[in-house]
């Protein structure tokens, strides 16, 4: 059974870069033809797709966030990562890593943007 | 960008009643639509994919229908554990996807 786990700072200062990593266990990140994704959910609000990555490194980003987002993959560590630059309070959210096609999700991690 | 509009925003029903949730897309997504259920403090759970296919382990009381721009999630007889927030998700240009704003199903 595949398991995903997000890790990274829970507090980020405005204008800085948010960095999160998703560690995949129970299977290889490069053994399937599925896309790994980041999704976020501001407190009390709905789900927003941030971006997706294939194990080869091909990426797709939400147009509304594209200028600030970088998603990368490290197959040797079975991880993929999210960087979101120039954050503001509007970026405060629970961030999920996921393989939505197969319905594998991390538990989510709350990142608060505050000075 | 494909925009999904869910209605109603909140649905108040009693256990045993039938629930009908709607999702409308701003342009055709064919049958590439999924439904998720989310409970407080939990990640979303996939219920339906490709408009009408139940995901593994999902009870038969959940059903999906529709194609093109109009979709429906039906829960035939509500159980206490079904009260949650439901999201539709379009997958027509996978791996780029969007979610609807959600419908909160609450106990009346």
SS (H, E, C) A29-75: CCCCCCCEEEEEECCCCCCEEEEEECCCCCEEECCCCCCCEEEEEEC
Query: What is the tens place of the pLDDT at every residue in B45-65?
Result: 999 999 999 999 999 999 999
Express each pLDDT in A20-77 by its tens digit: 999 999 988 987 678 999 999 999 999 999 999 999 999 999 999 999 999 999 999 9
**Contact check, Cβ <8 Å, B95/A105:** no
- Nearest CB to A103; choose among B38, B46, B98: B46
Bridge partners of residue A59, in order along the sequence: A53
Gap between the Cα atoms of A104 and A35, Å rounded: 11
B43 touches chain A (CB under 8 A): yes
């Amino acid at each position: 059974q595949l398991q995903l786990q997000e890790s990274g700072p829970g507090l980020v200062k405005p204008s800085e870069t948010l960095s999160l990593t998703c560690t995949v266990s129970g299977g290889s990140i490069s053994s399937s033809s599925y896309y790994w994704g980041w999704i976020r959910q501001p407190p009390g609000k709905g789900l927003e797709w941030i971006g997706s990555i294939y194990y080869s490194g091909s990426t797709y980003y939400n147009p509304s966030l594209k200028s600030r987002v970088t998603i990368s993959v490290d197959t040797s560590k079975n991880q993929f990562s999210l960087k979101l630059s120039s954050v503001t309070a509007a970026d405060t959210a629970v961030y999920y890593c996921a393989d939505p096609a197969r319905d594998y999700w991390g538990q989510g991690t709350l990142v608060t943007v505050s000075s | 960008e494909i925009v999904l509009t869910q209605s109603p925003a909140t649905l108040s029903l009693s256990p045993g009643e039938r629930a009908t949730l709607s999702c409308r897309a701003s342009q055709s997504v064919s049958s590439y639509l999924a439904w998720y259920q989310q409970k407080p403090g939990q990640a979303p759970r996939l219920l339906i994919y490709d408009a009408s296919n139940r995901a593994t382990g999902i009870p038969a009381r959940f059903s999906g229908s529709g194609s093109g721009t109009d979709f429906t999630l039906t829960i035939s007889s509500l159980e206490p554990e079904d009260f949650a927030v439901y999201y539709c998700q379009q997958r027509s240009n996978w791996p780029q996807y969007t979610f609807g704003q959600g419908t909160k199903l609450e106990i009346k």
